[in-house]
A and B are shown apart, each in its own frame.
Chain A
Amino acid sequence: MWRNRGNVFDLEMDPVRKLGLSFAQGPQALVMKDRTRVYFSTRRPDSNGKPISFIKFAEFSPDFTELLNVSQAEVVSNGGLGAFDEHGIFPLNVIPVEDEIRGYSSGWSRRISVDVTMGIGILSSRDDGLSFQRIGSGPAISASPDEPFLIGDPFVLLQDGKFHLWYIYGTDWTRDSGGTPERTYRIGHRESDNGMNWEDKGKSHDLIAPLSPHEAQAMPTVLVSDGKGYLVFCYRETFDFRNGGARSYRLGIAASDDLVSWTRLPQFAEWQGDGWDSQMMCYPNIHVRGDTVFLLYNGNDFGKHGFGLAEIPLGDFVRHYSSGGSPHRRATSNANSIFKTKQF
């Protein structure tokens, strides 16, 4: 079963604390030979005091028992004036493609009547992911006839020679009872032969059947094992979702035989939160190393306190979710007792 490893990148723990990071959101793993590098979005204020998200990474030993390093420099420069990613990148999905590391960014740009819109950009790294350069200053995927705004949260998978992109698109801006616009989004899917030129339109709407009309779904991440796909995501209600409870982010899962049509499973193994993730679990990212499935995710306050980890043997994962899931069990956290860090 799932083993909850807790808040493995706790911004308050030594020696991370001295970096003074604010937020570590949207963790995205790059599996390397001797380590796992986790890209995340952190924040700094711009000249108006509003937060800008930018990308750093933390490197862990393959079993996540050691934190090896945290990047000093930003891996992507700022977006230019008026660009789709001028006001930040969150998240940056990474995937090795031949001799480069490809990056897929969710770029943020502020609006007047609503907070923001997003678009998906493509970047490339020729130095093993230490720095990324944009391919064009505009987004590769932006608003389209039936996906009118808020195109973000890319996750790219290369499967049988085809690139798959799962992402989110906005469906509605709706004012809450106080008049503040809140957004609803759903998960979409497109394919590509080269990872650069994508289908013009999303494959289907409501790829993952929502539980309520005001359900917002975010941050899809996909694992394929024995030809079967498993899509983990987070979901919340459109209104009143920031402070925990049933309206805040939880993790969900769906299964597919063809990576196109998905059956939502009733339950993802929700371990009991133990403080840092007691109010919400969000922004999942899955990778497999050896026979183990690792799930990175954010907890309370959308990642303000860092990111955490859970793991499960791949065999257990497949048995559990290919049979439709089962009631979850409580797992205990022993992360802090075995976790150690190098000085960096």
Chain B
Amino acid sequence: MSGKWEKLGLLLEDRDFTSTVSWADSFTQAPNAIVLEDRVRIYFTSRHRHDPDGNFVSRGAYVDFASLTKGDIMGFSEEPILELGSLGNFDEFGTYPISVAQSSNGKYVAYYGGWTRCESVPFDVSIGKATSEDGKIFVKSHRGPVLSSTPNEPFVITSPKIRVLSGKWVLSYTAGERWLLSDGRAEIIYKLRIAFSDNGDDWTRLDRQIVEDKIGPDEAQASPDIIFRNGKYHMFFCYRASTDFRRNPERSYRIGYAYSENLIDWIRDDEKYALERSSQGWDSEMVAYPNVFCYEGALFMLYLGNEVGKCGFGLARLDGDLY
């Protein structure tokens, strides 16, 4: 059995948000939903021009939907939900993406990619942790990252997705494997990884790539989003070529899929629940950064389109189920 994603179009357009809050200039990226009693809260990030160099800095935000219908919005976060790190810290130049889960005591726990800028390559990323009582404003747990570089995960530790599965904290993420120089530009090749924890602070990494490459060793993989359904773990993620991927539909982000019985051994099967790019419109060049969740008995996917969320984020509903 399989299922088919039915596209429902843009759920939030970029300008719906950026025209509402003063600090955000463009982009609504990396959506992550949590279903609350009376609303669906979708965390995402947006960008504002931060420094005299004109470099963008990504900051966290959320939108509350009363139902999963375009425009049925209860409100936005007015201020960024998480502070930037101070001088020299790992998250001085951005917090992107941000993934949130609720712990058993009702607290909200966020894991986020913290960005710093480097000289020979454009950036490095490590994963930080923050908590919140109300899910609206988050306070960092520590100054430093909870997941940073290791011998086999040498840089760019990012794209966190936090889940509580079978009573354990599970963090799926990506880790840089190598930087590739292409026309004088350094491009990062990163792969999907996973780590486990009893308390959310001390993590044991599996320490290897969890989903095989499909388009060769230079495949970049991100946004490993896991959902437990019908006795299996299902993972949606995105992948692309490492060069010439920004506007070239043949080389840009596509959605991949893998499943597992134990969170460790994953079988890749992209065609099983394929969500393809459209022939025209906001998601005609790429489909990226999936987040899959269950709402009122149905399965939904939030995802990004062209230029990784420049226009907003879209919604799809699964016709069928995940088996």
The stretch that binds A, out of B71-79, B138-146, B166-174, B275-283, is: B138-146
CA distance A264 to B106 in the complex (A): 46
CB of B90 within 8 A of CB of A81, answer no
Taking CB atoms, residues of chain A closer than 8 Å to B179 are: 80-82
Does B58 lie at the interface of the complex (its beta carbon under 8 Å from any beta carbon of A)? Answer: no
A-B contact number at CB 8 A: 121
Does B119 lie at the interface of the complex (its beta carbon under 8 Å from any beta carbon of A)? Answer: yes
CB of A145 within 8 A of CB of B92, answer no
Whole-angstrom distance between the Cβ of B298 and the nearest chain A Cβ: 39
CB of B143 within 8 A of CB of A145, answer yes
Closest partner residue, chain B, to A200 (CB atom): B202
Does B22 lie at the interface of the complex (its beta carbon under 8 Å from any beta carbon of A)? Answer: no
Does B9 lie at the interface of the complex (its beta carbon under 8 Å from any beta carbon of A)? Answer: no
Whole-angstrom distance between the Cβ of A237 and the nearest chain B Cβ: 18
CB of A136 within 8 A of CB of B120, answer no
| Chain A: interface size category | 35 or more
CB of B88 within 8 A of CB of A142, answer no
CA distance A174 to B117 in the complex (A): 18
Does A33 lie at the interface of the complex (its beta carbon under 8 Å from any beta carbon of B)? Answer: no
CA distance A232 to B176 in the complex (A): 37
CA distance A110 to B123 in the complex (A): 11
Which of B126, B154, B156, B186 is in CB contact (< 8 Å) with A143? Answer: B126
**Interface of A toward B, CB cutoff 8 Å:** 80-84, 86-87, 109-114, 117, 119, 121-122, 135-140, 142-149, 170, 173-175, 181, 183, 200
Interface size on B, residues (CB 8 A): 39
CB of B118 within 8 A of CB of A109, answer yes
Does B67 lie at the interface of the complex (its beta carbon under 8 Å from any beta carbon of A)? Answer: no
CB of A138 within 8 A of CB of B154, answer yes
Q: A146-B143, A148-B144, A149-B89 are in contact. Are A111 and B151 (CB under 8 A)?
A: no
Does B116 lie at the interface of the complex (its beta carbon under 8 Å from any beta carbon of A)? Answer: yes
CA distance A299 to B120 in the complex (A): 31
Which of B116, B148, B151 is in CB contact (< 8 Å) with A137? Answer: B151
Closest partner residue, chain A, to B201 (CB atom): A145
**Interface of B toward A, CB cutoff 8 Å:** 86-90, 92-93, 116-121, 124, 126, 129, 141-146, 148-156, 176, 178-179, 181, 186, 188, 201-202
Can you list 23 A-B pairs, Cβ within 8 angstroms, ordered by A?
A80-B178, A81-B181, A84-B149, A110-B120, A111-B88, A138-B151, A140-B150, A140-B151, A142-B148, A142-B149, A143-B148, A144-B148, A145-B141, A145-B142, A145-B143, A145-B144, A145-B145, A146-B143, A148-B90, A148-B145, A149-B144, A181-B88, A183-B88
Main secondary structure of the interface of B (DSSP, over half): loop
CA distance A135 to B116 in the complex (A): 25
CB of A148 within 8 A of CB of B89, answer yes
CA distance A147 to B179 in the complex (A): 26
Give the 8 A-B residue pairs with the shortest CB-CB distance, closest first: A136-B151, A138-B154, A148-B144, A173-B88, A145-B142, A110-B119, A112-B117, A82-B121
CB of A81 within 8 A of CB of B120, answer yes
Whole-angstrom distance between the Cβ of A3 and the nearest chain B Cβ: 41
Whole-angstrom distance between the Cβ of B273 and the nearest chain A Cβ: 34
Whole-angstrom distance between the Cβ of B67 and the nearest chain A Cβ: 39
Q: With A82-B188, A114-B87, A183-B88 given, can you name 10 additional A-B contacts, CB distance below 8 Å?
A: A86-B120, A110-B119, A111-B116, A111-B117, A113-B88, A138-B151, A143-B149, A145-B142, A145-B201, A149-B144
Whole-angstrom distance between the Cβ of A201 and the nearest chain B Cβ: 8
